[in-house]
Structures are given as structure tokens and as C-alpha cells.
Copies of this chain bind each other. A is one copy, B any other.
Amino acid sequence: MISSTLTQEITYLHANLCSALADPTRLLLLYALSDQPRNVTELTQELNVLQPSVSRHLRVLRDGGLVRTTRQGSSVLYELTDRRVIEALDLLRGVLRDRIQRSADLIDELVAS
């Protein structure tokens, strides 16, 4: 994909970055890594997802520059490259939380009336 202007190119990359976040498993992976770096086996156990699936999702995150890897003997340690990603995700989760809260309030009102 070739974009004509620089702005378009950046917007395209920006959207790509968001695409990397647009999957439940990858979100769980990012939040797990926000706690501390982990290897694939640990992540697989924590998320209770098949190992090939974890590996492929990690690859998407790595291709998107969201995580980086270092070999630790026979295993591969994954870690976040930039905590601002977590900040951004937390902001969005806040939006979601408030929305759910408002729905709950609305239901309460209906029940009370």
C-alpha cells in the first residue's frame, strides 16, 4: 500500500497500530506483560489459550512494535516496548467503564420507577 501524502501514511500506520490492539487475546497479553516480562509458556498458561495461538498473537504484537523479545536460554522473553500503549488502553477502558456504569444507572432508574 503506497500513500500519497505523509499525513496519510502516518494515519495508515496509526490505524495499523490500533489493529494490533483490536483482539481480546492480544489485550490480555499486553496487560499480562504490563505486569512484568514473561515467556511464551507462562503467557500460554495464564491466558489458557493454545500455544500456537499465543505465538501468532505475539508475532502480531512484535511486528507492530508493541513488544520486543530477548532469548533466555531455551525460552523467549517478551516485554513491552512502550508503556504509553497501556496508558492508551486504560483510557479506552475508562470510556468503556463509564458507559457500562451509565447503562447500569439507567436500569436502576427503570427498576425504581
B-binding residues in A (CB < 8 A): 8, 10-19, 21-24, 26-28, 65, 82, 84-85, 87-89, 91-96, 98-100
A-B contact pairs, 9 of them (CB 8 A): A14-B96, A15-B26, A16-B22, A17-B92, A21-B21, A22-B22, A82-B98, A84-B91, A88-B88
B27–A21 CB distance below 8 A: no
Shortest beta-carbon distance from A110 to chain B in Å = 20
Check A84/B89 contact, CB under 8 A, given A11-B24, A15-B27, A22-B18: no
Q: CA separation between A12 and B25, bound complex, in Å?
A: 9
A96–B27 CB distance below 8 A: no
